């Protein structure tokens, strides 16, 4: 597609439920990132995928969070047993390659998660 596509755009769930958030990166982009943005805050790094390399999961806040990327394209972020503090906008970004001077990330519009 023309840009990074995320779904759903809005998700309201009950505490304790599992949620899945989907990201379709720009075609041909090998690097994919997930960030979390709480209200009025900056972006918090969660996880990074680059090609076929093992993902960098260093930003995941707990073992309730996981992500996968199938076929080097679509990625799914899964949050198990959601808590109210998980409420945030989850942003996905992709870039052509990851390297010096090529750090421009193209962001999707995010998935707004509200945990009641």
Partner 1 sequence: GESVGLHLPTLSVQEGDNSIINCAYSNSASDYFIWYKQESGKGPQFIIDIRSNMDKRQGQRVTVLLNKTVKHLSLQIAATQPGDSAVYFCAERGTGSARQLTFGSGTQLTVLP
Q: Considering the complex, state which of residue 16 and residue 103 has its C-beta at the smaller distance from partner 1.
A: 103
Per CB under 8 A, residues contacting partner 1 are 4, 33, 35, 40-45, 48, 50, 56, 58-59, 91, 93, 98-101, 103-110
Q: How far is the CB of 16 from partner 1 (least distance, A)?
A: 28
Tokens 């997930």, residue located:
34
Q: Considering the complex, state which of residue 42 and residue 71 has its C-beta at the smaller distance from partner 1.
A: 42
| Rounded Cα distance, 55 and 67, in Å | 9
Omega into 114 within 30° of 0, i.e. cis?
no
Tokens 């599992």, residue located:
18
Q: Considering the complex, state which of residue 11 and residue 110 has its C-beta at the smaller distance from partner 1.
A: 110
Q: Considering the complex, state which of residue 82 and residue 111 has its C-beta at the smaller distance from partner 1.
A: 111
Tokens 């769930």, residue located:
13
Q: How far is the CB of 81 from partner 1 (least distance, A)?
A: 26
Each residue of 96-113: b (16+ CB within 10 Å) or e? eebeeeeeebeebebbbb
Q: How far is the CB of 91 from partner 1 (least distance, A)?
A: 6
């Amino acid at each position: 597609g023309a840009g990074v596509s995320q779904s759903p755009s809005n998700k309201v769930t009950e505490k304790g439920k599992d949620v899945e958030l989907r990201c379709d990166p720009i075609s041909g982009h090998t690097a994919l990132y997930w960030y979390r943005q709480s209200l009025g805050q900056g972006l918090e790094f969660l996880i990074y995928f680059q090609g076929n390399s093992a993902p960098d999961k260093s930003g995941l806040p707990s073992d309730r969070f996981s992500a996968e990327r199938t076929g080097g394209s679509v990625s799914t972020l899964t949050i198990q047993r959601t808590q109210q503090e998980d409420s945030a906008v989850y942003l996905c970004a992709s870039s052509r390659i990851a390297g010096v001077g090529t750090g421009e990330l193209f962001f999707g519009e995010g998935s707004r998660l509200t945990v009641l």
